[in-house]
C-alpha cells in the first residue's frame, strides 16, 4: 500500500530522483513521506502530510548521497506523524530503513531490543529493523550480512530497502510485498511499482518472495536470503511514461474513465474471431467448475463473471478472498480464478496460495505483467487496460468485465450462437462506451442530488454487481453514504431508509423478467417519494417512472452492464467534484492493498 523508491548511480540528482519517484507513487495512497541519502553519513528528512510538505522541508537543506531511498507511508502502526514517517533509523543514525508490509513479531523484537538499551522514537513496527541491523553491525557483521541477519529475525510481510552510512549500495528484500528493480546504464533503481522510475528506464526485474538484492550504480546482484545466487529475467515495460500523465484532464480518474474505449480495444484485440464465432486465449478452456476469489471492485467483477459461467452451464461461485482463505470450500477439480487489478492484493494472493496448496489449478485475471499473482498462478489472463493511476478503479473494472466475458465464452466452444451474439456486442462495446461518454448527462444528475442524505443503487442479474460497484465508487471518492444491493432486497429491510432525500439509481436494461421486476421495485420507492434515476437502454418503460434517465445504447445484456457502469462512474466523479473531494487520492485508501 505504501510506496518505496531507491536508486544508486544518480550522483547529485539522487534527491530529485527520489522526490520524483515518490510523486509518481502518490496514487498508491499515503499520509507521510520521507527520504534518506547515504554518503559517509546519512541525511534524512521526513514529514507527515502531502509530499509538498517534504519538498518544503528539504528546500532549505542540502542533502547529499550517492545512494538513497524514499517512502510514502500509509499508516498501520501509529498515526501519521513526523516521527512515524519513514525512513526509520537506528540509535547511531548510520542505518535507515523503509518498509512496506507488516512485521508480525515486532513487539517481541522491540521488547528484546529495548531491554538491550536501544531507544525507539516511533510507534511503528518498521523501527525494529534498523535496530536489528545496528545490533548485528555491533557484533562485527559487515553491512550486507547485518541486513541479512536482521531480515532473518522478521516474521510477516515486507518489502524492505536499507541504506548504511559509508556504503554505496542499497540493500533490499521482498517477502509477500512487491518490489521491482529498474536497470539502466550507470544507474539502478528499486521501487514498489514500475511508475516510480519508468521515466529513467523500461528494463525491469521483478523480485520474487525470499529474494535479496544489492543495488549499486554499476548493477545489481540478486540472491536468496541465505546468499545463494538467483537467476533473474530482465523484462521490458511496454507502456510509455506519458501514459501515467493527466493529458489535460483535471483528474486521473476522469482521464481513465475516458480511456475506457481504448482499454477495451486493447483487451479484445487478437482474442476474438467474429466470423468463426470463436475466442482465442492462452488459457485451457477445459473447466468443470469455477471459484472466483477477489476483493472490492474486483469482487464485483467476479460476481459478474460467475453469472456468465453459470449461464454457460458451468457451476461457478464468487468469494471474498479474505473470507475464502479462512474457510476454503471443497475444491476437487475446480479452477480457482483470482481477480486483482494489481496482481498484488494480499487477501487474494492468500486465497490463491491456499487453493494451490490443496491442489487446485489457478488462474490470475490481472492488469500487471510480472505481478506476483501472474507469476504464481498456473495461467494468466491479462486485462490489458494500461496503467491506472486513480485509486478508484474505472477502466480496469470495465476491462475485467470484458476479459472475463472472453474467459466464459472460451468454455462454450466455437460456432455457438450465443457466442456469436456476445462477440458482436463486444466488438461494438468500445464504440458504445464512447457514445455514453459523448452524450452523458451525469453531471446534471450529480448537481441535482449532490446534497442528498444517502444514495441507493439497485439492479438484478448482471446489473446487480454494477449496482454494488456504483455504490462503491460513490463512497470511495465522494465520502457520501451509498449502498448497492440486489433490487429484490429492497422490501427486506432497506425500504425503511428510503425517503425523499435518498435518490435511488435503478439499473434496468433489456425488457425481460429482470427488467420487469426491477421496475416493480422502482414503483415501490417512487411510492415513498424517493427520487429515481434510471440507467437504461430504453428497451423497457422504466423511464416513465424516473425523475432522471441516464441512457446507454441497446446491446446484449452482458455488455449493457458495462455501459451502465460507465454512467455510474461519471455520476460518482461529478458528485465528488461538486464536493471538492481529492478524487485521485481519497482519504484512508490505497491503490494496491498489499497487507491483510
Q: Is residue 414's pLDDT more than 90?
A: no
pLDDT in tens, 246-295: 778 899 899 999 999 999 999 999 898 877 778 889 888 889 999 999 99
Q: What are phi and psi of 97, to 5 degrees?
A: -130, 140
Residue 431: CB partners within 8 Å, gap ≥ 6? 261
429 and 340 together in one domain: yes
Domain count for the chain, please give it. Answer: 3
Mean pLDDT of 11-29: 87
Q: Residue 548: beta bridge partners?
A: 533
Give the lowest-confidence range in 76-80, 179-183, 210-214: 76-80
Q: Of 175, 170, 169, 185, give the one whose Cα is nearest residue 152.
A: 175
Q: How many degrees, rounded to 5, is the angle at CA 371 between CA 366 and CA 377?
A: 70
Residue ending a domain, choose from 173, 207, 240: 240
- What is the largest distance, in Å, between two alpha-carbon atoms of the chain? 80
pLDDT of residue 582: 92
Name the DSSP class of 313.
T
CA–CA distances in Å: residue 112 to residues 132, 141, 341: 10, 19, 40
Cell numbers describing residue 231: 537467476
396 and 455 together in one domain: no
Q: Of 462, 457, 448, give the one whose Cα is nearest residue 489.
A: 457
206 and 275 together in one domain: no
pLDDT in tens, 45-64: 999 988 889 999 898 888 88
Q: Please report whether residue 592 resides in a domain.
A: no
Cα 334 to chain centroid, rounded: 26
- The domain spanning residue 355 has which CATH number? 3.40.50.10490
Residues in the chain: 596
Q: Which residue has the cell 541491523?
A: 133
Residue ending a domain, choose from 387, 411, 438: 438
Annotated catalytic residues are: 2, 591
Q: Please report whether residue 81 resides in a domain.
A: yes
Residue ending a domain, choose from 387, 420, 438: 438
CA–CA distances in Å: residue 306 to residues 54, 334, 368, 405: 46, 13, 22, 10
Q: Rounded to an integer, what distance in angstroms lies between the CA atom of residue 164 and that of residue 250?
A: 41
Q: 3-class DSSP state for residue 445?
A: helix
pLDDT of residue 413: 67
Q: Is residue 153's pLDDT more than 70?
A: yes
- The domain spanning residue 176 has which CATH number? 3.60.20.10
pLDDT of residue 574: 97
Q: Of 252, 237, 246, give the one whose Cα is nearest residue 200.
A: 237
Q: Rounded to an integer, what distance in angstroms lies between the CA atom of residue 277 and that of residue 255?
A: 33
Q: How many degrees, rounded to 5, is the angle at CA 241 between CA 238 and CA 245?
A: 130
Q: Rounded to an integer, what distance in angstroms lies between the CA atom of residue 375 and that of residue 373?
A: 5
Q: Rounded to an integer, what distance in angstroms lies between the CA atom of residue 401 and that of residue 405?
A: 6
Q: Please report whether residue 475 resides in a domain.
A: yes
CA–CA distances in Å: residue 75 to residues 56, 254, 324, 555: 22, 27, 26, 45
Q: How confident is the model at residue 239 (pLDDT cuts 50, 70, 90)?
A: low
Cell numbers describing residue 405: 466475458
Q: Of 407, 496, 401, give the one whose Cα is nearest residue 456.
A: 496
How many other CB atoms are there within 10 angstroms of residue 225's CB atom? 14
Cell numbers describing residue 40: 559517509
Cα of first residue to Cα of last residue in the chain, in angstroms, is 11
Q: How confident is the model at residue 94 (pLDDT cuts 50, 70, 90)?
A: very high
466 and 527 together in one domain: yes
449 and 434 together in one domain: no
Q: How confident is the model at residue 130 (pLDDT cuts 50, 70, 90)?
A: very high
Q: Please report whether residue 347 resides in a domain.
A: yes
How many other CB atoms are there within 10 angstroms of residue 184's CB atom? 16
pLDDT in tens, 347-373: 999 999 999 999 999 999 999 888 889
CA–CA distances in Å: residue 8 to residues 5, 153, 207, 214, 289: 11, 27, 17, 10, 49
pLDDT of residue 585: 85
428 and 561 together in one domain: no
Q: Rounded to an integer, what distance in angstroms lies between the CA atom of residue 141 and that of residue 134?
A: 10
Q: Please report whether residue 85 resides in a domain.
A: yes
pLDDT of residue 333: 86
Kindly give the pairing relationship between strand 235-236 and strand 203-206.
Answer: antiparallel
Q: Is residue 229's pLDDT more than 90?
A: yes
Residue 274: CB partners within 8 Å, gap ≥ 6? 420, 423, 424, 427
283 and 395 together in one domain: yes
Q: What are phi and psi of 103, to 5 degrees?
A: -95, 110
Average pLDDT, the chain: 91
pLDDT of residue 244: 66
143 and 207 together in one domain: yes
DSSP letters along 257-278, please? HHTHHHHHHHHHTTTEETTTTE
Higher-pLDDT residue of 25, 374: 374
Q: Is residue 588's pLDDT more than 90?
A: no
How many other CB atoms are there within 10 angstroms of residue 279's CB atom? 25
Name the DSSP class of 328.
P
Q: How confident is the model at residue 406 (pLDDT cuts 50, 70, 90)?
A: very high
pLDDT in tens, 435-467: 999 999 999 999 999 999 999 999 999 999 999
Which of 493-497's residues contact partners 24+ apart within 8 Å by CB, and which partners?
Answer: 494/456, 495/524, 495/525, 495/528, 497/454, 497/456
Q: Which residue has the cell 470495465?
A: 398
Residue 43 zone, left/alpha/beta (φ > 0; ψ -120 to 50; rest) = beta
Residue 333: CB partners within 8 Å, gap ≥ 6? 288, 289, 361
The boundaries of the domain holding residue 226 are: 3-240
Q: How confident is the model at residue 32 (pLDDT cuts 50, 70, 90)?
A: confident
210 and 339 together in one domain: no
Q: Please report whether residue 230 resides in a domain.
A: yes
Whether this model's pTM surpasses 0.85: no
490 and 434 together in one domain: no
Amino acid at each position: 500500500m505504501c510506496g518505496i523508491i531507491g536508486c544508486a548511480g544518480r550522483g547529485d540528482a539522487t534527491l530529485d530522483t527520489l522526490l520524483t519517484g515518490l510523486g509518481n507513487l502518490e496514487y498508491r495512497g499515503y499520509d507521510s513521506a520521507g527520504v534518506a541519502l547515504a554518503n559517509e553519513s546519512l541525511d534524512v528528512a521526513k514529514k507527515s502530510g502531502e509530499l509538498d510538505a517534504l519538498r518544503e522541508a528539504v528546500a532549505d537543506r542540502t542533502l547529499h548521497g550517492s545512494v538513497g531511498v524514499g517512502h510514502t507511508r500509509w499508516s498501520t502502526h501509529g498515526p501519521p506523524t513526523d516521527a512515524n514517517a519513514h525512513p526509520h533509523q537506528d540509535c547511531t543514525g548510520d542505518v535507515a530503513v523503509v518498509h512496506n508490509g507488516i512485521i508480525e513479531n515486532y513487539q517481541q523484537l522491540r521488547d528484546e531490543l529495548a531491554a538491550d538499551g536501544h531507544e525507539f522514537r516511533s510507534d511503528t513496527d518498521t523501527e525494529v529493523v534498523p535496530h536489528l541491523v545496528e545490533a548485528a553491525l555491533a557484533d562485527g557483521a559487515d553491512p550486507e550480512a547485518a541486513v541479512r541477519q536482521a531480515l532473518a529475525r522478521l516474521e510477516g510481510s515486507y518489502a524492505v530497502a536499507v541504506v548504511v552510512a559509508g556504503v554505496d549500495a542499497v540493500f533490499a528484500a521482498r517477502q509477500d510485498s512487491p518490489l521491482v528493480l529498474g536497470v539502466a546504464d550507470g544507474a539502478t533503481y528499486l521501487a514498489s511499482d514500475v511508475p516510480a522510475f519508468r521515466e529513467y528506464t523500461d528494463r525491469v526485474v521483478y523480485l520474487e518472495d525470499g529474494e535479496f538484492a544489492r543495488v549499486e550504480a554499476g548493477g545489481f546482484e540478486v540472491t536468496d536470503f541465505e546468499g545463494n545466487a538467483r537467476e533473474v529475467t530482465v523484462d521490458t515495460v511496454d507502456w510509455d511514461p506519458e501514459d501515467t500523465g493527466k493529458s489535460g484532464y483535471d483528474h486521473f480518474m476522469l482521464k481513465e474513465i475516458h480511456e475506457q474505449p481504448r482499454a477495451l480495444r486493447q483487451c479484445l484485440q487478437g482474442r476474438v474471431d467474429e466470423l468463426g464465432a470463436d475466442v482465442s486465449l492462452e488459457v485451457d478452456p477445459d473447466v468443470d467448475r469455477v471459484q472466483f476469489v477477489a476483493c472490492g471492485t474486483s469482487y464485483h467483477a467476479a460476481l459478474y463473471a460467475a453469472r456468465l459461467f453459470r449461464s454457460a452451464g458451468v457451476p461457478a461461485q464468487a468469494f471474498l478472498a479474505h473470507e475464502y482463505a479462512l474457510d476454503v470450500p471443497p475444491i476437487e477439480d475446480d479452477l480457482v480464478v483470482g481477480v486483482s487489478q494489481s496482481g498484488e492484493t494480499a487477501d487474494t494472493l492468500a486465497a490463491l496460495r491456499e487453493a494451490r496448496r490443496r491442489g487446485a489449478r489457478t488462474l490470475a485475471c490481472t492488469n500487471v505483467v510480472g505481478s506476483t499473482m501472474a507469476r504464481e498462478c498456473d495461467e494468466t489472463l491479462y486485462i490489458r487496460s494500461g496503467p491506472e493511476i486513480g485509486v478508484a478503479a474505472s477502466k480496469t473494472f470495465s476491462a475485467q468485465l470484458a476479459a472475463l466475458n472472453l474467459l466464459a465464452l472460451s468454455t462454450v466452444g466455437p460456432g455457438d450462437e450465443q457466442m456469436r451474439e456476445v462477440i458482436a456486442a463486444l466488438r461494438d462495446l468500445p464504440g458504445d462506451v464512447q457514445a455514453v461518454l459523448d452524450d452523458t448527462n451525469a453531471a446534471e444528475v450529480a448537481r441535482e442530488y449532490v446534497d442528498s442524505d444517502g444514495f441507493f443503487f439497485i439492479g438484478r442479474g448482471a446489473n446487480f454487481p454494477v449496482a454494488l460497484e456504483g455504490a462503491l465508487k460513490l463512497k470511495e471518492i465522494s465520502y457520501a453514504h451509498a449502498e448497492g444491493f440486489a433490487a429484490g432486497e429492497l422490501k427486506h429491510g432497506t425500504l425503511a431508509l428510503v425517503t425523499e432525500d435518498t435518490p435511488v439509481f435503478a439499473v434496468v436494461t433489456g425488457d425481460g423478467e429482470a427488467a420487469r421486476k426491477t421496475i416493480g421495485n422502482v414503483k415501490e420507492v417512487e411510492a415513498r417519494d424517493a427520487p429515481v434515476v434510471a440507467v437504461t437502454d430504453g428497451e423497457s418503460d422504466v423511464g416513465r417512472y424516473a425523475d432522471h434517465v441516464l441512457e446507454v445504447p441497446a446491446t446484449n445484456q452482458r455488455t449493457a452492464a458495462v455501459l451502465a457502469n460507465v454512467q455510474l462512474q461519471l455520476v460518482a466523479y461529478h458528485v465528488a467534484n461538486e464536493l471538492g473531494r481529492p478524487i485521485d487520492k481519497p482519504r484512508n485508501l490505497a491503490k494496491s492493498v498489499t497487507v491483510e
